[in-house]
Amino acid sequence: MNVLVLGSGGREHALTWALSRSENIGDLFVAPGNGGTAAIAQNVTVDPLNADEVVAFVKEHGIELVVIGPEAPLVAGIADAVRAEGVSVFGPNQDAAQLEGSKSFSKEFMLAHNLPTAAYKKCVTLEEAMDYLHEVGAPIVVKADGLAAGKGVIVADDMETAEEGVRSCFDGAFGDAGAVVVIEEMLVGPECSMLAFLADGKASCMPCSQDHKRAYDGDKGPNTGGMGAYSPVPCVDAETEAAMQKVMADAAAATMEDFAAGYRGVLYGGFMLTPEGPKLLEFNARFGDPETQVIMPRLASDALTAFKAVADGKIDEIGAEWDPRCAVTVVLASGGYPGSYEKGKVITGIEDAAAMDDVIVFHAGTAVNDAGQLVTSGGRVLTVTAMGDTFAEAIARAYEACDKIDFEGKQLRLDIGKRAL
């Protein structure tokens, strides 16, 4: 089967890696891909946000399945354009992608279908937001309504931080994403994620994972796209996991009511495990990053079979089986991330790290320069994933692999996965 993956990050490398292991894979393309996907597939210069370019490539190369990695092509309606040509797509249509594209839309969906979540208010002016802030007080959470690459959330413990967060949104810190602001009750408890394959009103849930959003050790510093993750999540007991699975199943059923084409792809449920039970913080309409880098290595069955079954609405044919071992992934970032950073730094040691048993190095912000050297090209450069029978083993193996990789300004957290201990 010929497959096209859209995207260029660590998530897309992990998805491509999983697909490449299938016995049924034919030609495998990634648009635009990165330095890691180039080693296992063919990178192509197709703009994943340009429907005409994507459709033309699909037709020319006999693509039978398109897997959409990032949120932006989904919100732009790329899935709709490809499906209109009769080609299978793993990823929801544009209307359903608004579950991630607009936080207020997502909150309205949750409330309409009695999915447990925090109280909130949608604000369209600075004055309205400030008035509501002073009505409810801090602590509070301020969110840019639109897509902000995982960085449009301000967790405010005091009013000064909350007011600054609201102003930053309306002052354009997150571009058009901040033109509308959602102010939300702050829930208390551990966070974790549950991803689920969705097709035609049914959900097939994956193992839980937990990421580390803050830039520095001890969950200090600014929010990032994610500095590491681990799976499974020891604090999620059987009762809590069942409650989360029920929420995802209810959400899957609701998609058949609200969206004409239903929902075929993956739905990411971001949960807070409150004293009252798990509550939704957010939905994403795609795999998480870096959660994908710990979930895909735990998928012991054929990824292509699963993705094609979802795309064709045959969720009972997924046949997903999961490796019971622990997985930990550590992000190696450019110096200065999530602020400004330099690109073009030569990367060494990846081969030594990848040669270790039960270690996979996924590329994110990498490229090949004119001299043929692998160099940094983004904020999050690599994610180093290790498996182990215990979390202690997986953590030790991941950091041993990280020590083998070097580039100027390399930045990483040293406490990824330690919550699991």
The tens digit of pLDDT for each residue in 370-415 reads: 999 999 999 999 999 999 999 999 999 999 999 999 999 999 999 9
Kindly state whether residues 24 and 80 are assigned to the same domain.
yes
pLDDT of residue 130: 95
Average pLDDT over every residue of 234-251: 97
In CATH, what number is assigned to the domain containing residue 144?
3.30.1490.20
Q: Would residue 106 count as lying in a domain? A: no
Pairing mode, if any, of strands 88-90 and 120-123?
Answer: unpaired
Structure confidence at residue 92 as a pLDDT band (50, 70, 90):
very high
Same domain, 222 and 281: yes
Provide the residue range defining the domain that includes 250.
188-317
Whether the full predicted model's pTM is greater than 0.85, yes or no, is: yes
Mean pLDDT calculated for residue range 6-15 = 97
pLDDT one-digit tens code per residue, 324-339: 999 999 999 999 999 9
Share of the chain above pLDDT 90, in %: 94
Domain count, the chain: 4
**Domain ends where: 153, 185, 217?**
185
Q: Final residue of a domain: which of 155, 185, 215?
A: 185
Do 417 and 230 meet the contact criterion of CB atoms below 8 Å apart?
yes
For residue 268, tell me if it sits in a domain: yes
CATH of residue 269: 3.30.470.20
Each residue's pLDDT tens digit, 276-303:
999 999 999 999 999 999 999 999 999 9
What percentage of the chain carries pLDDT values higher than 70?
100
pLDDT (0 to 100) of residue 251: 98
Does residue 63 fall inside a structural domain? Answer: yes
Q: Give yes or no: residues 301 and 216 share one domain.
A: yes
> Cβ(91)–Cβ(284) under 8 Å?
no
Mean local confidence (pLDDT), 201-208: 97
The pLDDT of residue 151 is 76
Is there a single domain that holds both residue 63 and residue 170? Answer: no
CA distance 42 to 61: 12
